[in-house]
Amino acid sequence: MEQNNSELHRQIIHFYRVTKHFGGVYALCDLSFDILKNDFVFITGPSGAGKSTLIKLLYLGERMSDGYAIVDGINLSRISRQQIPMLRRRIGVIFQDFKLIANRTVFQNVALVMEVAGFKSRSLIRERVGDLLELVGLSHQADAYPPTLSGGEKQRAAVARAMVGKPKIILADEPTASLDPAASERVLQLLRAAHARGATIIITTHDRDLLSRFDARAIYLEGGRRVDAAGGEAG
């Protein structure tokens, strides 16, 4: 773990020997890696490898069992309850299971992120949410409720929600799993744009296509451990 000072400064995520187990099930085991500011990183591995668990640890959806982790300057094992919402507002998450609120419209789901972040101006919210729904191709569904959406539409709503707060870090858990190639391309363009804007992007996927189309770093997981088969560099 020798790092020069400037690299330390550029780190936005630092994991050192992080373990997460649920009862006897080890979802992540002794995982160490670093992600620098404005990185574009893929996390990949077979089903059940621990990719989503890693995402959950990052936004504090779960607390890690052991190890040392820093996200955007905050030590995840020391974070106080008051700090959690602050950290989460700096992170946009596209959840694998979308996590849309069933009885709010698509518009309201997306707008909620801004309300939560303290935006008061209704017109600003309307404008930004409208723009984003336009970008993911859901303008005509703005007033639809998630249970009436198709799988791909739900996923795009989740994408819009993750991006609307202009977060520093975007965690995208299989963001194109339910999407056709054209829609996938649009979502990736959005992620690229966020990256260009300076955000750090972390994408989990098992879509080989996706990996091959990007010249990005990839972290390979298997059974909760890092196995750097190709393209990865040991943390």
Ligand X SMILES: Nc1ncnc2c1ncn2[C@@H]1O[C@H](COP(=O)(O)OP(=O)(O)OP(=O)(O)O)[C@@H](O)[C@H]1O
Per the CB < 8 A criterion, the answer to whether 89 and 70 are in contact is: no
Question: How many CB atoms are closer than 10 A to CB 57?
Answer: 24
* Strands of the sheet with 169-173, listed across from one edge: 91-94, 169-173, 200-205, 40-44, 217-222, 225-226
- The owner of tokens 């990007």 is 214
Q: How far is the CB of 156 from other proteins (least distance, A)?
A: 17
For 225-228, which contacts have Cβ atoms below 8 Å and span 24 or more sequence positions? 225/29, 225/30, 225/31, 226/31, 226/32, 226/33, 227/45
C-alpha distance from residue 207 to each of 44, 47, 177, 220 (Å): 9, 12, 8, 13
Q: Is 182 in the site for its own copies (CB under 8 A)?
A: yes
Question: What residue type is 22 in one-letter code?
Answer: F
Q: Is 22 in the site for ligand X (CB under 6 A)?
A: yes
The whole-angstrom separation of Cα 54 and Cα 62 is 9
Q: State the binding partner of 97 from Mg ion, its own copies, other proteins, none, CB within 5 to 8 A by kind.
A: its own copies
C-alpha distance from residue 161 to each of 92, 93, 199, 223 (Å): 8, 8, 15, 30
- Interface pattern 20-59 for its own copies (x via CB under 8 A): --x----------------------xxxx--xxx------
Of 4, 5, 47, 123, which one interacts with ligand X (CB under 6 A)? 47
Q: State the binding partner of 159 from Mg ion, other proteins, ligand X, none, CB within 5 to 8 A by kind.
A: none
Of 100, 172, 179, 190, which one interacts with other proteins (CB under 8 A)? 100
Q: Is 115 in the site for other proteins (CB under 8 A)?
A: yes
Q: How far is the CB of 53 from its own copies (least distance, A)?
A: 8
Q: State the binding partner of 20 from Mg ion, ligand X, its own copies, none, CB within 5 to 8 A by kind.
A: none
Binding footprint of ligand X on the chain (CB under 6 A): 22, 25, 27, 45, 47-53, 96, 141, 144, 148-153, 178
What is the binding site for its own copies (CB under 8 A)? 22, 45-48, 51-53, 96-97, 148, 150-153, 155-156, 173-174, 177-183, 206, 208-209
